[in-house]
């Protein structure tokens, strides 16, 4: 299937999704929303793609949404079972920040701005922003941002845990691709289970989370990748994980 509002570039073992409406600051419209949902569904089923990178064309990551109802893009990104790296190439505003929060690791260019300005329009984030922001930055900072609509620079976002790393613009692509390549070399099932353990563990008690962790740990003992990891360690070589 061909897309135009979104570009999906599959590399050796990772994919780069690019929001492709630079003339409109990559603002989400119905076409972009539907293409993102379709692409995420395809990538979830593609075993050759082990990591996903999300970025924007031009100088803005995503300037928000022109839709008046939830479009499910952030939910589609969050549903990806493989690691998702946000390469935030510029401002991420409103629903653009919701897309950022749905990713697992967030790299941002220096000077990028992040905010939820919806309160100034009498509305709220509508694609998971209130819930993911509180889980990542904490209740206090989440309420402050939602109440005031304040804008954070990438550096300020890093200080409150919204961004994992701030890089110069010219280094963003290489940083994101290096991280994706590194993660793609890890055992895919172990990565998937690590993501599941953390995400599901946040919504249950500590005791339940520990049981989930133990269950997933023992399931990994049945995989070929676990055997390969031990053999590679003993033979002092890099492992060749197959995702089985």
CATH topology for the 188-234 domain? Lyase 2-enoyl-coa Hydratase; Chain  A, domain 2 (1.10.12)
H/E element holding 114? strand 113-115
Looking only at the bridges linking them, the beta strands covering 113-115 and 84-88 are unpaired
Element (H, E) at 225: helix 224-234
Residue 163 in contact with residue 154, Cβ under 8 Å? yes
The pLDDT, as a whole number, for residue 227 is 86
Domain ranges of the chain: 6-184, 188-234
Cβ neighbourhood burial of 179 (10 Å; 0-12, 13-18, 19+)? buried
Q: Is the domain defined by 6-184 classed in CATH 3.90.226.10?
A: yes
* DSSP tag of 221: T
pLDDT at 134: 95
What is the sign, positive or negative, of the torsion defined by CA atoms of 29, 33, 35, 36? positive
pLDDT digits over 78-123, tens only?
A: 999 999 999 999 999 999 999 999 999 999 999 999 999 998 889 9
Q: What is the pLDDT of residues 225-240, one digit of tens each?
A: 888 788 888 888 788 7
pLDDT digits (tens, 9 = 90+) for 164-184: 999 999 999 999 999 999 999
Is the pLDDT confidence value at 70 over 80?
Answer: no
DSSP 58: T
Cross-strand bridge partners of residue 51: 14
How many of the other CB atoms lie within 10 Å of CB of 238?
A: 8
> Residues with Cβ < 8 Å from 107, sequence gap 6 or more?
85, 86, 87, 88, 163, 164, 165, 166, 167, 172, 175, 176, 179
pLDDT of 69 over the 80 cut: no
Phi and psi angles of residue 233, each rounded to the nearest 5 degrees, phi first: -65, -45
């Amino acid at each position: 299937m061909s897309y135009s509002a979104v570009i999906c570039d599959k590399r050796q073992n990772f994919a780069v999704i690019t929001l492709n409406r630079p003339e409109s600051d990559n603002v989400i419209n119905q076409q972009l929303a539907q293409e993102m949902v379709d692409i995420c569904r395809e990538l979830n089923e593609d075993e050759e793609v082990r990591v996903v990178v999300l970025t924007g064309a031009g100088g803005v990551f995503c300037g928000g949404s022109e839709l008046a109802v939830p479009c499910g893009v952030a939910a589609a990104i969050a549903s990806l079972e493989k690691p998702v790296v946000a390469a935030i190439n510029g401002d991420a505003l409103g629903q653009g920040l919701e897309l950022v929060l749905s990713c697992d690791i967030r790299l941002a260019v220096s000077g990028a701005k992040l905010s939820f300005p919806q309160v100034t329009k009498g509305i709220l984030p509508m694609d998971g922003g209130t819930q993911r922001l509180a889980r990542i930055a904490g209740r206090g900072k989440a309420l402050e941002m939602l109440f005031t609509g304040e804008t954070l620079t990438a550096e300020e976002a890093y200080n409150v845990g919204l961004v994992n790393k701030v890089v110069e613009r010219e280094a963003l692509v290489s940083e994101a691709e290096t991280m994706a390549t590194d993660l793609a070399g890890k055992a895919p099932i172990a990565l998937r289970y690590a993501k599941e353990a953390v995400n599901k563990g946040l919504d249950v008690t500590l005791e339940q989370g520990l049981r989930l962790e133990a269950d997933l740990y023992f399931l990994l003992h049945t995989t070929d990748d676990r055997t390969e990891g031990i053999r590679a360690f003993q033979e002092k070589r890099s492992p060749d994980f197959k995702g089985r």
